[in-house]
Chain A
Amino acid sequence: SQQGEEDPQALSIQEGENATMNCSYKTSINNLQWYRQNSGRGLVHLILIRSNEREKHSGRLRVTLDTSKKSSSLLITASRAADTASYFCATDNTGNQFYFGTGTSLTVIP
Chain B
Amino acid sequence: DAMVIQNPRYQVTQFGKPVTLSCSQTLNHNVMYWYQQKSSQAPKLLFHYYDKDFNNEADTPDNFQSRRPNTSFCFLDIRSPGLGDAAMYLCATSRDYRAEPQHFGDGTRLSIL
Interface of A toward B, CB cutoff 8 Å: 3, 30-31, 33, 35, 40-45, 48, 50, 88, 92, 98-103
Contacts and interface: CB of A to CB of B under 8 A. Distances in A.
Interface of B: 4, 6, 40-45, 90, 92, 98-107, 109
8 contacts: A30-B98, A40-B107, A42-B6, A48-B100, A48-B101, A98-B45, A100-B42, A103-B42
> What's the dominant secondary structure at chain A's contact region?
strand
Contacts of A42: 4, 6, 90, 92, 104-107
> What's the dominant secondary structure at chain B's contact region?
loop
Contacts of B104: 42-44
A31 B10 CA distance: 33
Nearest to B100: A48
A3 B42 contact: yes
Nearest to A3: B42
A103 B38 CA distance: 13
B107 A88 contact: no
B42 A50 contact: no
Nearest to A31: B99
A88 B42 contact: yes
B101 A33 contact: yes
Contact of A102 (B4, B42, B45): B42
Contacts of B100: 48
A41 B99 contact: no
